[in-house]
Chain A
Amino acid sequence: QSVLTQPPSASGTPGQRVTISCSGSSSNIGSNYIYWYQHLPGTAPKLLIHRNNQRPSGLPDRFSGSKSGTSASLAISGLRSEDEADYYCAAWDDSLSGYVFGTGTKVTVL
């Protein structure tokens, strides 16, 4: 089982703002950067946010990340149909000496 906990699902109508939480511990989020990935089935996962709140070049500013203590969140503003996908948080875990992904959140655009 994953050491990073996310809600299984989130939804919103086009144009709305959706927020996804990620809860961890002092050995992962509390002491390392958090990353966010988007994954559509059958495609390559895509990096959305790196080092807590940085967007890769070319990524729309509708996606934003934040971190506080042992928790983090991803916000998607101006929700669009193409945002319907699975979203994962991830961080290095010092206790495990390994990279851990969150449980994943399926975002549905209503």
Chain B
Amino acid sequence: EVQLVESGGGLVQRGGSLRLSCAASGFTFSYYWMSWVRQAPGKGLQWVANIKQDGSEKYYVDSVKGRFTILRDNAKNSLWLQMNSLRVEDTAVYYCARAPSFDYLDVWGLGTTVTVSS
């Protein structure tokens, strides 16, 4: 069964850091782009970042550029999102998603919640 399980969310103060993890199973992780998408309370979905199969290409939404870093380790079937200089507006449920190509997401995890307090 294809599965993505996020972890690492929690409560952090403004300006702090957090590292989200996504454990993948049931498919060949190295064949796929991977993405992070978030949903702030009461808001819609917002794409955050994606990374190519070999990590050679990474793209970010403007609001997180310079603060967030997407990483992967194909040997460990793992994806991470390193979040620094967190802002209150980064408060959201963060989803990990598998991407057959850079522009679509076919399998999603259940998400992990990040709360940034002021």
Q: How many residues of A contact B (CB 8 A)?
A: 28
Q: Are B44 and A99 in contact (CB under 8 A)?
A: no
Give min CB distance, A87 to chain B, whole Å.
10
**In the complex with contacts A96-B62, A98-B60, A104-B45 CB distance below 8 A:** yes
Say which residue of B59, B95, B97, B107 sits within 8 Å of A98 (CB atoms). Answer: B59
Q: Are B60 and A37 in contact (CB under 8 A)?
A: no
Secondary structure at chain B's binding surface: helix, strand, loop or mixed? strand
Q: How large is the interface on B (under 10, 10 to 19, 20 to 34, 35 or more residues)?
A: 20 to 34
Interface residues of B (CB under 8 A from A): 35, 37, 44-47, 50, 59-62, 95, 97, 102-111
Cβ-based interface call for A60 (8 A): no
Q: Are A101 and B44 in contact (CB under 8 A)?
A: yes
Cβ-based interface call for A68 (8 A): no
Q: A44-B95, A47-B105, A99-B35 are in contact. List 10 more A-B contacts (CB 8 A).
A: A44-B111, A45-B95, A46-B108, A92-B103, A99-B59, A99-B102, A101-B37, A101-B44, A104-B44, A104-B45
